[in-house]
Structure 1
Amino acid sequence: MAFPGNLSNFPFFPLQFDKDAQTVDPGEEQALSTWLQSQGPVDLIVISHGWNNDEQDALDLYKRMFAAFRSVLDKNQVPAMAGRTIAVAGVFWPSKKFADDENIPGGAASAQAVDPLADAFAGASAAADPALLSRLQELMAQENLSIPERDEAVGLLRRLLAAVPPSAEEGSANVQAAAADGGTFSNEVFLQQLTGEGEAAAAGPDSGGAAGLFSSSLDDLTGAVRTGLNLFTFYTMRERAGLVGLNALNPLLARIASHANVRIHLMGHSFGARLVTAAAAAGGRFHPKSMTLLQAAFSQYGFSTLYDGHSNGAFQHVLLQQRIEGPVLITHTNNDHAVGWAYPIAARLKSIIASSIDGGPNDPYGGMGRNGAQKTPQALSKTLLAAGTAGYSFPASGGVLNLESTTFVNGHSGIANEAVAYAVLSAMA
């Protein structure tokens, strides 16, 4: 697609990467590098989308975001940024939505669809074994399945889930182990877990929303397949975001930083937050001046020290080695149902005790966009995302500011507003 040359009068440069973390158009990096070398000092905001189907979805987010940035600057709410040259590099990478308008695995929003599994199969197609997926789709297209065919369908789903990259911190190790377990987790038990029947029985009527999260008015097998494919998509996109950040964005920014007078500021939404964090974690010849994670779709223990008594978060070294020269900002809110439930559902395949799955800060599989950085000594909490000229006290280099954002962020994608822009610009200053 054709990209605009500016967003709200900020020079704009697209950076496209494919699913294998390869540059789509080398000319994009050259265009950005050439422009930077023709300028004086530049503050370059490198932003990555998360769960978007295509370039247009991501571009629309970027347009809304930087319209809010322009408004904050025009009001001179961050005087230290007046007169500074700001440019935007927009990352575009192939991500997929879940089969649900709110990106919540197994939610009821897709129950009204003509084909409730179409989006789930489409989302998984980017990375699944095509033979397994094709056979599963063939089976699910039939109106009535025999018992052996139903058993085959659950087995195919388990084979797909057993192939996800394992992460104890983010719960996929549980999913992988349960999918591969032919003993405790028979196909029948596995099906019950995915549809929520086991939890519903254990939790009782007053246990809150967790028991019904995967419930479906559809046939139990249809609901289980949708849930399972959404899990597969979730973990696949998590892995892909990290690879694009590590293998594509990091070396590109290192090359740019080596021959341009540029201050790099990383900003990522959803899985894009994982992407830019992975870019920073890889180290090298560039040192971002700030990093903002907007409703980050990765573990609340990503930056932690000894979160379970003996393990550190996957990105703990970003803080310990002060890879970010300035502050790290993290927006979080319990309004974010996508992150609030996408992580704790991993526990479903480990236990049928629904009361232990609430998505909050005490949940072992809580998400950062829901709870902020937990068990992280460098993190300051209990700071509210604020509008206008409220002012912030930022931590020193290598520190994190958890921004409780419920007042201004009404959901997983409710980030394009002046309060967020004010916080980011304040950190940049």
Structure 2
Amino acid sequence: MAFPGDLSNFPFFPLRFNKDAQAVDQGEEQALKTWLQSQGPVELIVFSHGWNNDEQDALALYQHMFASFRSVLNQNHVPAMNGRNIAVAGVLWPSKKFADEENIPGGAAGAVAVDPLADAFAGAEAAGDPAILARLKELTDKEELTLPEQDEAVGLLRQLLATLPASSEEGSANVQAAANDGGTFSNDVFVQQLVGEGTMPGSDASEGGAAGLFSNPMGDLTDAVRKGLNLFTFYAMRERAGIIGAQALNPLLARISALANVRIHLIGHSFGARLVTAAAAASGLFHPSSMTLLQAAFSHYGFSTLYDGHSNGAFRNLLLEQRIKGPVLITHTPNDHAVGWAYPIAARLRSIIASSIDGGPNDPFGGLGRNGAQKTPQAISKQLLASGSAGYTFPAAGGVLNLESTPFVNGHSGITNDAVAYAILSAMV
């Protein structure tokens, strides 16, 4: 691949996986193992990007992050890491549609699309029904639509959303149920909830179609389709991250951990946080020395005990069984609108059926990257510290440190700075 074999003088090894959780090139694992076997003790950082950028963007994320690592080490802010042999394995997974000119897309969810609707269609191609997407694109490309065509477009969008991988913890079950329940409420009500608008003057849900909604037909329809396709892609990629983590990265790291001279540290950003968490939770065949979840895009109840009175979080056993030898760090901030954007939509769609929520710590569908680990007895909360400050006291194995990161993380992708690097390196000691 066209990328230097180091990041700020840290040896770098790509680990690429396809959408079916298979290695793109078996030689990549072998290259890493061969290098590790030639070394003394190694601190191996395994980093996974999240959603929405291509391979080059993911590599840029890694490059910027490890420039911050180098800066912290050069300033001797973590003296215990002096002389440690640190290497990086960068996971690259298809978190969006394959681009013709790229080997594999990845992403940190940071790019601004030139054409948001085209970008939404491109993302949905990785998981949506091609025939439905093609017809929906044909309709949205028109300058004007008849009322039956408007209804058809909304119906096609609902067909797509009805196929979401459902998870009651993270809201997709709400979307799936609302999309399927065409007998109870009309297309115009569905779109009103999807785009977050109240009933428009003159609208009448009893008409049973889109006639009451589209006072601005193409603008309203375009917004609904864009948000719906992004939501569809959000949940589909969330599911893919878990599968690749459990079925591809987990066995690879189990093989790597058999080498006596390596300590593994997991880092995941966005959906990459779900990927590395799923890898650690899938079996007890390897035990990472630390795990850091940067603006994680999965449920803030992921590690919880009885979050609703009778259910535990999906990854609760990771803490109970002390799969991580050291601490679990979680950065979170209300600045992260990307983590929370899907949950209010899921709430509005659910409100057609049952209830409503707001995205904060008490929101049953809230995200780790916004709120930190909730209803998790092993979690303690502190502020993310500037590099060179007094340092951290970490919880024991099986413990979680929620790091309120607002002073240093200005959004979902604002993670490549010395303060974040300082926290991770401190946890690696």
Once the two structures are superposed, residues 144-171 of structure 1 have per-residue CA deviations (whole angstroms, 9 ceiling, x without a partner) of 1111111111111111111011000000
AA matched with 2:287: H
Q: How far does residue 260 in structure 1 lie from its aligned partner after superposition?
A: 4.1
Q: How far does residue 142 in structure 1 lie from its aligned partner after superposition?
A: 1.4
Residue 28 in structure 1 maps to residue 28 in structure 2 = yes
Other-structure match for 1:82? 82
Other-structure match for 1:161? 161
Other-structure match for 2:258? 258
Summarize the alignment of residues 27-426 of structure 1 with structure 2, pairs less than 5 Å apart.
27-96=27-96, 115-198=115-198, 219-351=219-351, 356-426=356-426
AA matched with 1:70: R
**218 and 376 in structure 1: CA distance in 2 versus 1, 3 angstrom threshold:** farther
- Structure 1 distance, partners of 2:217, 2:331, is 34
Other-structure match for 1:209? none
- Structure 2 distance, partners of 1:76, 1:387, is 10
Higher mean C-alpha displacement, 179-188 vs 320-329 = 179-188
- Structure 2 distance, partners of 1:323, 1:265, is 12
| Structure 1 counterpart SS, 2:331 | strand
Q: Percent of counterpart pairs with the same letter?
A: 78
TM-score (norm. length: structure 2): 0.90
Other-structure match for 1:206? none
AA matched with 1:69: F
**224 and 102 in structure 1: CA distance in 2 versus 1, 3 angstrom threshold:** farther
Other-structure match for 2:13? 13
- Structure 1 distance, partners of 2:260, 2:116, is 50
Q: How far does residue 4 in structure 1 lie from its aligned partner after superposition?
A: 1.4
Higher mean C-alpha displacement, 22-31 vs 382-391 = 382-391
**199 and 400 in structure 1: CA distance in 2 versus 1, 3 angstrom threshold:** farther
Contact persistence 1:385–1:404 (CA under 8 A): no
| Structure 2 counterpart SS, 1:117 | helix
- Structure 1 distance, partners of 2:251, 2:311, is 28
Higher mean C-alpha displacement, 346-355 vs 132-141 = 346-355
Q: How far does residue 250 in structure 1 lie from its aligned partner after superposition?
A: 0.4
Contact persistence 2:273–2:294 (CA under 8 A): yes
Higher mean C-alpha displacement, 321-330 vs 148-157 = 148-157
**116 and 48 in structure 1: CA distance in 2 versus 1, 3 angstrom threshold:** closer
| Structure 1 counterpart SS, 2:415 | coil
Once the two structures are superposed, residues 270-296 of structure 1 have per-residue CA deviations (whole angstroms, 9 ceiling, x without a partner) of 000000000001023210000000000
Contact persistence 2:49–2:108 (CA under 8 A): no
Q: How far does residue 355 in structure 1 lie from its aligned partner after superposition?
A: 11
Other-structure match for 1:212? none
| Structure 2 counterpart SS, 1:268 | strand
- Structure 2 distance, partners of 1:232, 1:199, is 24
Other-structure match for 2:205? none
Higher mean C-alpha displacement, 191-200 vs 176-185 = 191-200
Please report the RMSD computed on the Cα atoms of aligned residues, expressed in angstroms.
2.3
**86 and 34 in structure 1: CA distance in 2 versus 1, 3 angstrom threshold:** same
Contact persistence 1:78–1:389 (CA under 8 A): no
**286 and 182 in structure 1: CA distance in 2 versus 1, 3 angstrom threshold:** same
- Structure 2 distance, partners of 1:79, 1:36, is 24
Higher mean C-alpha displacement, 44-53 vs 115-124 = 115-124
Higher mean C-alpha displacement, 183-192 vs 13-22 = 183-192
Q: How far does residue 353 in structure 1 lie from its aligned partner after superposition?
A: 11
- Structure 2 distance, partners of 1:217, 1:375, is 44
**186 and 199 in structure 1: CA distance in 2 versus 1, 3 angstrom threshold:** closer
**354 and 384 in structure 1: CA distance in 2 versus 1, 3 angstrom threshold:** farther
Contact persistence 1:15–1:92 (CA under 8 A): yes
| Structure 2 counterpart SS, 1:245 | helix
| Structure 2 counterpart SS, 1:313 | coil
Higher mean C-alpha displacement, 372-381 vs 49-58 = 49-58
AA matched with 1:327: P
Contact persistence 1:102–1:338 (CA under 8 A): no
Q: How far does residue 102 in structure 1 lie from its aligned partner after superposition?
A: 10
- Structure 1 distance, partners of 2:353, 2:217, is 22
Q: How far does residue 256 in structure 1 lie from its aligned partner after superposition?
A: 1.1
Contact persistence 1:72–1:421 (CA under 8 A): yes
Once the two structures are superposed, residues 348-381 of structure 1 have per-residue CA deviations (whole angstroms, 9 ceiling, x without a partner) of 1111699953321011111110000001011001
**199 and 368 in structure 1: CA distance in 2 versus 1, 3 angstrom threshold:** farther
Contact persistence 1:326–1:427 (CA under 8 A): yes
